[in-house]
């Protein structure tokens, strides 16, 4: 507590160094570790949703096909059309989507690194300026405290992300089912209106 007492510049340097070290750690930690964890968790949650929906949808579809002799070809045709349409749409849009995602991620990474460099350069130049002007910046103590604080932040971030973040399931299969059902009903209505499939009854 008494280390920076009466030394406004020392306090300012201490805060600036803390901010710089924390910014460096969080930026590098995010792009080197968190991004990979998020991508893996995204894939896991998509697989969870697909598996959950498939388990419930497959018996219902099979039952409808077996119990609807007159309309079984309509049901099969609707499903085939929906699947073919989704597959073709995915093929057409994948290249553009991947290009946009890659470009966007590169831009975000570049902006983040530029801001980090500016922050670090500002702090370093400020400390050098005050030191050259003869002020007591107490930089060695600030660096020591800054590194200690970053160690605690690193342990907390890594522990939370590993223990909690990577195991938390945010994908709700019931919401996806409702949306998927609504979209499929809408698609069937449009297909019937356009004559692509016969009207029921």
pLDDT tens-digit map of 145-201: 989 999 999 999 888 888 877 777 666 666 666 776 677 667 766 766 776 555 554
Assigned domain for 44 exists: yes
DSSP one-letter code for 199: P
In a domain, 201, yes or no: no
Number of domains into which the chain is organized = 1
Q: Concatenate the DSSP letters of all residues of 27-72 into one string.
A: HHHIIIIIHHHHHHHHHHHHHHHHHHHHHHHHHHHHHHHHH-TTTH
- Residue 185: inside a domain: yes
| Residue 200 forms part of a structural domain | no
Range of the domain at 13: 7-193
Strongest mean pLDDT among 2-11, 132-141, 169-178: 132-141
- The whole-model pTM stands at 0.64
Cα–Cα distance between 23 and 11 in angstroms, integer? 18
The pLDDT of 65-79, averaged and rounded, is 57
Judge whether 149 lies within some domain.
Answer: yes
Residue 1 lies inside a defined structural domain of this protein: no
Residue 199 lies in a domain: no
Position 28 in a domain: yes
């Amino acid at each position: 507590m008494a280390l920076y007492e009466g030394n406004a510049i020392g306090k300012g340097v201490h805060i600036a160094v803390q901010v710089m070290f924390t910014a460096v750690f969080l930026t590098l930690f995010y792009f080197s570790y968190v991004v990979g964890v998020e991508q893996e968790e995204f894939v896991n949650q998509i697989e969870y949703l697909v598996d959950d929906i498939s388990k419930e949808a497959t018996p219902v579809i099979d039952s409808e096909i077996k119990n609807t002799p007159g309309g079984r070809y309509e049901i099969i045709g609707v499903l085939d059309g929906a699947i073919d349409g989704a597959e073709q749409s995915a093929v057409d849009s994948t290249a553009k989507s991947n290009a946009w995602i890659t470009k966007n991620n590169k831009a975000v990474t570049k902006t983040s690194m530029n801001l980090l460099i500016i922050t670090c350069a500002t702090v370093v130049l400020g400390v050098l300026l005050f030191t050259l002007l003869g002020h007591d910046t107490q930089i060695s103590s600030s660096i020591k405290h800054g590194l200690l604080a970053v160690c605690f932040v690193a342990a907390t971030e890594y522990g939370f992300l590993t223990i909690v973040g990577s195991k938390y399931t945010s994908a709700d299969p019931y919401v996806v089912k409702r949306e998927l059902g609504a979209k499929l009903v809408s698609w069937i209505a449009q297909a019937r209106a356009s004559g692509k499939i016969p009207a029921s009854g």
